[in-house]
Amino acid sequence: MAWYEDLSPCGYFGEEASRVLRSVGWLEAGRSFLTGPTEKAIFDKLCELARQPWAPVAFCGPHVCDLCQYGGSSGAANVFIPGDDFLYVCPVLITHYMNVHHYCPPREFCEAVRRCAIMRSREYLQAILGNGGRQLNSLWKRR
């Protein structure tokens, strides 16, 4: 997995996609990140959203947490959260990072998580389309 600073454009999905994607929780050993308490309701909601996340693209294998001393959790999916005219994107490992490594996501992301509709609901998909999903869809259809 790649490291991206929180709230920076996320280039993991390509340069064009980075125009509408903001990174959250793309952690890596040797890189500093904010730690501290996060409201349990935010953690619980992220766990729910990460259970079967909407996946506009597929990846070929999992990423294993390199912050853990011995082995670690792994995940291959990402969670897309509607922002204001953009989408936040975080690896599903964000819940592991929060719980085990005390990662504290940015406040504005937490507020977006709080407002986020149920995964795959009509409201969720409309919010995705209205905040960058249309651009991603047309970009990925060209490939």
Domain assignment of residue 121, yes or no = yes
Domains of the chain: total: 1
Domain assignment of residue 3, yes or no = no
- Indicate the pLDDT class of residue 143, thresholds 50, 70 and 90: low
Domain assignment of residue 64, yes or no = yes
pLDDT for 1 equals 67
Helices 40-51 and 107-115, interaxial angle, to 10°? 60
pTM above 0.95, yes or no: no
Domain assignment of residue 18, yes or no = yes
> Which pLDDT tens digit goes with each residue over 5-56?
999 999 998 899 999 999 999 999 999 999 999 999 999 999 999 999 998 8
pLDDT for 22 equals 98
Q: Encoding tokens for residue 136?
A: 């991603």
DSSP helix/strand/coil, 90: strand
Domain assignment of residue 5, yes or no = no
Range of the domain at 58: 11-141
Domain assignment of residue 100, yes or no = yes
pLDDT for 56 equals 81
Give the containing element (helix H, strand E) for 35.
Answer: none
The CA–CA distances, whole Å, from 114 to 30, 46, 53, 65, 134 equal 30, 9, 16, 25, 23
Domain assignment of residue 1, yes or no = no
Q: How far apart are CA 136 and CA 79, in angstroms?
A: 14
> Which pLDDT tens digit goes with each residue over 75-131?
889 999 999 999 999 999 999 999 999 999 999 999 999 999 999 999 999 999 999
Domain assignment of residue 35, yes or no = yes
